Amino acid sequence: MNLQTYPMDRHICHYSIRTFSEPIEKVSLHWIEDKSSPIDYLLDSEQNKSVIYKNEFTPSLFDIEIGNYERHIIKWFNENYTVLDLEFIFERTITANVLTVYIPSSLVVTLSWIQFWFDVEAVPGRMALGIMSTLTIMTQILTNYEKAANHVTAVDIWLLVCLIMVFLALMEYAFAYTMSHYYDIDGNLKAKNSFKKNMSLIVREFRSTKHNSHHNKKSTEENNLFKIVTENTVPDNKENSCEERMRSMTELSEIIRCLVKSFNEMNVRLEANCCDTGFGNLLAQQLDSKGFTVFASCLDPESKGAQDLLNNCSKRLKVLKLDVTNDEDVKEAVNFVTTNLHNNNLWAVVNNAGILHFLPIEWGEEGVDVYSRQLNVNALGQVRVTKAFLPLLRKTKDSRVINVESLAGRIPMPGISSYSMSKFAVRAFSECLRNEVKQFDINVSVIEPSVYSTGLTDYNLWIDDFQTKWKETPEDVRRDYGPEKCDVLHERIDAVMATSKDRPQEVVDAMIDSVTNVTPKPYYYVYGLEERVMTTLLEALPPQFFDLALNEKIYFPLIKLFKNKNRI
């Protein structure tokens, strides 16, 4: 018997009967007791038929079947012997092991890795979950060891792998918890750990600059400011005397004064489009309050949003007209920005323009005007603006392009095919752009929000738009869809609006981080845990299950679970 593959082992039992007195025609095998056996087979031979009867009795641990069956004659000296040879094949049933070992251990491993979703500071919960998972797997190993053979089997290897996975989950948390004391969530060194490293560097840099001439003082301070931010050398701790410490404190006060002066004198230039409303308007206001020189391009410079920017922001903020679908407008915007840079460099371009039509593919007038317009604004508009401003961005080290995408660019939904196409295009464009311009030290970031309450998601505009397009739809198409399709689309719009968030500041915070961070992320995913889980599942599902998940009978009840959960 070979038990190394337990519980998927298979055994063969050879059975042989020899007789001297009976001819081969009369040799057959019958189960004597109750004329029954655990075998349900009809055994045929050329000369005779031998039936082995079946009973309800079957060993619970094995499935039994007949292997080779043969009747033949062997010769021993001068006599002939009739021989009946057959094989019983015992194949272990693994149902019990699946239910008692494999499924429970898989669930324990899955449960142990769920702790990755816990906050890193949730020490009691994560430790309790990790230790409980480890002890559960150890109990299973010991229980199985009492039943199994004295050598390693397949189930032993399975349980050992499960134990390693659970242990790695604990080690991951220990590592994450330790690193959380040194780095923030964006991977930047925390101030309390970098302060000592940078302080003596600040002192040394200041000492090296304070003896320079007054003519070069301003530029030197600005250069030293960037050295302070980027360098990460270990300080010298040689100044131990009281006199030296007093002198250092005096110099430190001068350093702070110079740093503040440098920040005030450094106007970081930034161009952001679609600042009439929504994210762009908030971004322009907040960057202006942080001291940036902002070129806020608006479709209509006379709109209320544009006028609010002029009235509420500093003189550093400038409003200009820009239609991202118009090549001449883009050229004029570049000339305006170039003229107003005043020999300074452009730091960042934020592409935020976008429109959204919520309607099925066949609705509306014949042709592809809806698709052309959305692609022209959402995708080609970003391409036009980016290409036009790249010559200015190449002059600035570590400059950046920020493109606003959407969750619809990864999960296409019924009713927004044209919008999803345009956002897929933005994602592809950003990926290619990142790899092409990294040689010029230009960073490319993508902001990917879910549904937020902005001018783009105006409920009344969506309803008016799809009702207008329904009236423009050819009669034969309306007849095939039927008026009930309007109700379904109306319900889908209601479901989307129910999950929209009233916290646009979350998206603006991601935009500001992509503008100000020394090492901006390639992607900023701005949505909650529920949307992350649903997005991951939908991307992993086969197409059939993906389509099923978006069916109205499943989609709408699922949306209701999260209804109003994201609202304040």
pLDDT value of residue 31: 56
Rounded-to-10 torsion of CA 43, 45, 51, 52: -50
pLDDT tens figures, 373-414:
989 999 999 999 999 999 999 999 889 999 999 888 888 888
Residue among 350, 418, 410, 407 at smallest CA distance from 381: 350
Residue 109 and residue 158 in contact, taking contact as beta carbons nearer than 8 Å: no
Q: What is the CATH number of domain 269-455+501-541?
A: 3.40.50.720
Question: What pLDDT sits at residue 105?
Answer: 86
Question: Is 333 buried (19+), middle (13-18) or exposed (0-12) by CB count in 10 A?
Answer: buried
269-455+501-541 has the same fold as 95-179: no
Residue 8, amino acid: M
Does the predicted model carry a pTM greater than 0.85?
Answer: no
Structure confidence by residue, pLDDT tens digits, 156-209:
888 888 888 888 888 887 787 777 766 665 555 554 444 444 444 444 444 445
Report the catalytic residues. Answer: 419
How many Å apart are CA 311 and CA 270, to the nearest integer?
A: 19
Asked if the 95-179 domain carries CATH number 1.10.274.10, the reply is no
Distance in angstroms (rounded) separating the CA atoms of residues 429 and 444: 10
Per-residue pLDDT tens digits for 322-348: 899 999 999 999 999 998 887 788 999
The region of weakest confidence among 33-47, 67-81, 125-139 is 33-47
> For the chain, what are the domain ranges?
10-92, 95-179, 194-261, 269-455+501-541
Please provide the average confidence, as pLDDT, over all residues in the chain: 72
Instruction: Give the pLDDT confidence of 469-488 residue by residue, as tens digits.
Output: 888 888 888 888 887 777 77
